[in-house]
Amino acid sequence: RIAYVNGRYVPHSQAMVHVEDRGYQFSDGIYEVTGVYKGRPIDAEGHWERLERSLRELSIAMPMSRRALDFVASQVVRRNRVVTGIVYIQVTRGVWPRNHPFPPKVTPPALVMTARNGLGPGQAVAERGVSVYSQPDIRWGRRDIKTVSLLPNVLAKEKAHHEGGFEALLVASDGTVTECASSNAWIITRDGVLVTRALSNDILPGITRARLRELALGMGMQIEERSFTLDEAKAAREVFISSTGSFALPVVRIDETVIGNGVPGTLTLGLRARYLEFLESLSGP
Ligand code: PMP
């Protein structure tokens, strides 16, 4: 395997960053995970857009132009023979002797990219559905920025996995669901309306969320972008989660509560099928 590290393509086993990289010391950096489907990037524009926004919000410079980022991404895909998998992109504020304030403006941001085959849980898991476990959302106030500071997400996901669940369903102190540890959360009401939390500082603006929203509208489905409570989710007709790797993934249990009749819902599976069609229609790199 090959990784890109600050201007060089190096063997994955020798891909290193400096101990005083601010990403390592302060989680002072951001990342993206872009999907690759049958050799084609999934929604690359959306991911570069979000990467630029995350950097701008943290006053970290773009490490290179978007076109150059696109080129490096295509190189790590090619050099790792990725067919269907992911590209991981991380940008930190660079290397400087440890001190909280920003280093001098001339300090270049550090850029790392890796790629590997393997994209999400697959169709067999989707046809069974997954369970999720609710937990308090203890993250900071700028969840819209895709920072590498993921400790609350890691702890929540670990707990969910320990319980035998696929994801952690994160609940704010007012009882509303924000999102999951690494996915956005959706419910479908008894009336067949898709509900997902509106974009704000409370959640990450998922690229898959945006794509599914567009596809669902195109299918004539009704969407409400609003908050919903954990109780509302447990009583919903269908529940699903979305992310780069899981697409639209049916949830059949929240904690000890079975959703619907315990099998993936028809509306969710219909939307997932539409997303798979979209993936098949992607044009080449
Ligand atoms: N929320 C969080 C907290 C995430 O980490 C992710 C995965 N990056 C998502 C939502 C889903 O975003 P996307 O559809 O862009 O993968």
The CA 99 to ligand 1 mean position distance, Å, reads 30
The tally of CA atoms less than 13 A away on the side-chain side of residue 49 is 8
| Domain boundaries of the chain, sorted by first residue | 2-117, 122-280
- ipTM comes to 0.99
> pTM for this structure?
0.98
Q: Are 164 and 228 in contact (CB under 8 A)?
A: no
- The 3-state DSSP class for residue 72 equals helix
Please report the atom of ligand 1 found closest to the CA of residue 181. Answer: 3
For ligand 1, say whether the CB of 30 is within 6 Å of any of its atoms. Answer: no
Query: How do strand 167-171 and strand 193-196 relate by DSSP bridges?
Result: unpaired
Cβ–ligand 1 distance for 54 under 6 Å, the answer no
CA dist 170 → 139, 183, 231, 277 (Å): 10, 10, 13, 30
Residue in 170, 204, 213, 272 to alter for ligand 1 test, most ligand atoms within 8 A of Cβ: 204
71: enclosing H helix or E strand? helix 66-79
Atom number of ligand 1 nearest to Cα 47: 15
Of 146, 185, 173, the residue nearest 34 (C-alpha): 146
**pLDDT tens-digit map of 140-199:** 999 999 999 999 999 999 999 999 999 999 999 999 999 999 999 999 999 999 999 999
Task: Quote the CA–CA distance of 115 and 187 in Å, as a whole number.
Answer: 32
The pLDDT tens digits for 15-54 are: 999 999 999 999 999 999 999 999 999 999 999 999 999 9
CATH number belonging to domain 2-117: 3.30.470.10
Whether 146 is catalytic: yes
Could you tell me which residues are beta bridge partners of residue 118?
A: none
Q: How far is the centre of ligand 1, averaged over its atoms, from the C-alpha of 184 (Å)?
A: 6
Q: What is the DSSP letter of 64?
A: S
- Looking at domain 122-280, what is its CATH homologous superfamily? D-amino Acid Aminotransferase, subunit A, domain 2 (3.20.10.10)
